[in-house]
Amino acid sequence: MQKTLRGSALYGTALLLPALFLPALRAQLGAPAGGGTARAAQLPLSGRTAQQGSVATVQNPLPGGTQSVNTISSSVQVQGAYQGSVAPSVTPGPVLALSLADAIRRGLQYNLGAVSFQNSVRQARAQRVVELANLLPNINGNMLVTEQQNNLAAFGFNFTLPVPGFSIPTIVGPFHYFDLRARLTQNVLNFTDLRNYRATEQLVRATDLSAQDARDLIVLAVTGSYLSIVSASARIDSARAQVVTAQAAYQQAVDRHDAGVAARIDVTRSQVELQTQQQRLTSQETDFAKQKILLGRIIGLPPGQEFTLTDALPYAPVTGITLEQALQRASTTRADLKAAQAQVQAADLTRKAALAERYPSVDLAADYGVIGTSPQNSHGTFGVTGTLRFPIWQGGRVRGDVDQADAALQQRRAEYEDLRGRVDAEVRQAFLDLTAAANQVSVAQSNRDLAQETLTQARDRFAAGVADTIEVIQAQESVAAAEQDYIGSTYAHNLAKATLARAMGQADQGIQQLLGRP
């Protein structure tokens, strides 16, 4: 009788232990448990990045203190990250001979806008990997070694028998066990996770295209800055020629005054004109130095690096391209337009992912391992669990997710339509600027020749004593204005070419072609 009761007690304890400790054991081993419901990864309301559109063509007066109403004077204003760079070296080297192609290459490599978008692409691709992980199997392994002793009385068990001399112990153990196990979880069917991943694929594509558009903006910024330096250099040459002319006129007035055939006021007027031209030269040289600093910052030159420009970029008319061809090319090659399309597709997939939160999902979890009192005394065990989840009531959360995703989708569509109109406007405006600048180059060339002829006649009349210095000074100012008009119109024409190349897309190739560079 004693053996029977004791055997029954031990058997009951053996049955009781799994019921007490199996939940904790399975939690430690990572056994299948109820998972959360997948949700759509919501997109920000706007798909436009802060850096898009940071380089713009604006109207500015001619630098150097001279203004003219006869020319289109445009310049590229660099803003945001595009005005900075990551210089590969902090120590300036020997004087660098810099062509436009070299400047563009350095800009695409070291400009901060390019670096920022490279990191944005990396981040988008990393997010795609994260979403892909929700669709791929996850396998984890763990090894558990436990030494344990339990007080069954603490769990409310009091084994009191009415038979004297018989008792069931409330202290169990110490006992130990060993478990080495691998666990696999697999998302078998979940439309929300699948569409989240497809949305991230479109976002990666949009980010790649935005990075290509950033390259076009960098090319435009570098080209505009390069053209500004070329124009500033031409203005310095013109100002120096005007100083030489003013110096000759001043010396002529002094000689005539000393000879007693000219009044003192003629000398004074000539001296004022000479000093005015010298002031303009100083202003032009200062502007030239500033423009070089700006270009150095854009293309990543070390601080203080001296360089010279090797491309003069004279006026050359544009042939072989029509407005209709430019519009067609822009609609097919503009990277920002393609990026906006990808943003719309990503937003549409995100909305579908939110709708899929109402659909059932299927998960699979499996584990296999060996368990026993020691590695040498163990046996293989496994478990396979399939879970079908179907939402019944979620408090309106799905409707909220759908509304958020739909708002982002509508905003993306609106931004895409706006961008289409803006691309069309940019191409048309660039063509108008190009045509106007070409016409003004022709007029400015004629005015420059006429102004120079007028100055020659005025100086001859002054030398003959039939005119005073007022006529000479007016002729000099006309020559200076005509020179500035010609330089400004040539610069505006070249800049219109660069702007047209950016408006059509693939600016690095288009600018080299339109400017006639190899």
User: The domain spanning residue 425 has which CATH number?
Assistant: 1.20.1600.10
> What residue type is 220 in one-letter code?
L
Kindly give the interhelix angle for 469-504 and 191-258, rounded to the nearest 10 degrees.
170
Domain count for the chain, please give it. 1
For position 466, what pLDDT does the model report?
A: 79
Give the pLDDT band of residue 75 (cuts 50, 70, 90). low
CB 233 within 8 A of CB 114: no
* % residues pLDDT > 70 (the chain): 86
For position 52, what pLDDT does the model report?
A: 53
Task: Name which residue leads in pLDDT, 55 or 304.
Answer: 304
Task: Name which residue leads in pLDDT, 237 or 30.
Answer: 237
The beta-carbon contacts of 235-240 under 8 Å, at least 24 apart in sequence, are 235/63, 235/64, 235/284, 235/287, 235/288, 235/483, 235/484, 235/487, 236/281, 236/284, 236/285, 236/288, 238/480, 238/483, 238/484, 238/487, 239/64, 239/277, 239/280, 239/281, 239/284, 239/480, 240/281
Residue 280 domain flag:
yes
Q: What is the mean pLDDT of the chain?
A: 84
Residue 159 domain flag:
no
Q: Is the pLDDT of residue 62 over 50?
A: no
Least reliable range by pLDDT among 72-86, 148-162, 298-312, 327-341: 72-86
Residue 364 domain flag:
yes
Give the pLDDT band of residue 76 (cuts 50, 70, 90). low
pLDDT single digits (tens) 310-364: 998 888 888 888 999 999 999 999 999 999 999 999 999 999 999 999 999 999 9
Give the pLDDT band of residue 476 (cuts 50, 70, 90). confident
Residue 178 domain flag:
no
Residue 112 domain flag:
yes
Mean pLDDT of 156-163: 72
Residue 19 domain flag:
no
Residue 171 domain flag:
no
Mean pLDDT of 282-287: 94
Mean pLDDT of 392-405: 90
State if pTM tops 0.75. Answer: yes
Q: Is the pLDDT of residue 4 over 70?
A: no
Q: Is the pLDDT of residue 186 over 60?
A: yes
pLDDT single digits (tens) 85-122: 998 888 888 999 999 999 999 999 999 999 999 999 99
Task: Name which residue leads in pLDDT, 55 or 128.
Answer: 128
Give the pLDDT band of residue 156 (cuts 50, 70, 90). confident
CB 381 within 8 A of CB 366: no
Q: DSSP states of 62-111 as a string?
A: PSTT---SSS--EEEEE-GGGG-B--S-SS--SPEEE-HHHHHHHHHHHB
Residue 183 domain flag:
no
Q: Is the pLDDT of residue 298 over 90?
A: yes
Q: Which pair of structure tokens corresponds to residue 17?
A: 């232990």
Per the structure, the complete domain to which residue 438 belongs is given by 31-42+52-135+190-514
Least reliable range by pLDDT among 148-162, 196-210, 323-337, 346-360: 148-162
For position 15, what pLDDT does the model report?
A: 34
Q: What's the start-to-end Cα distance of the chain, in Å?
A: 108
User: Dihedral, CA atoms, 264, 270, 274, 276, nearest 10 degrees?
Assistant: 100
pLDDT single digits (tens) 244-280: 988 988 898 898 888 888 888 988 988 998 999 899 9
Least reliable range by pLDDT among 59-68, 173-182, 484-493: 59-68
Phi, psi of 399 (to 5 degrees): -60, -40
Q: Is the pLDDT of residue 139 over 50?
A: yes
Q: What is the Cα–Cα distance from 475 to 213, expressed in whole angstroms?
A: 48
Q: What is the Cα–Cα distance from 266 to 252, expressed in whole angstroms?
A: 10
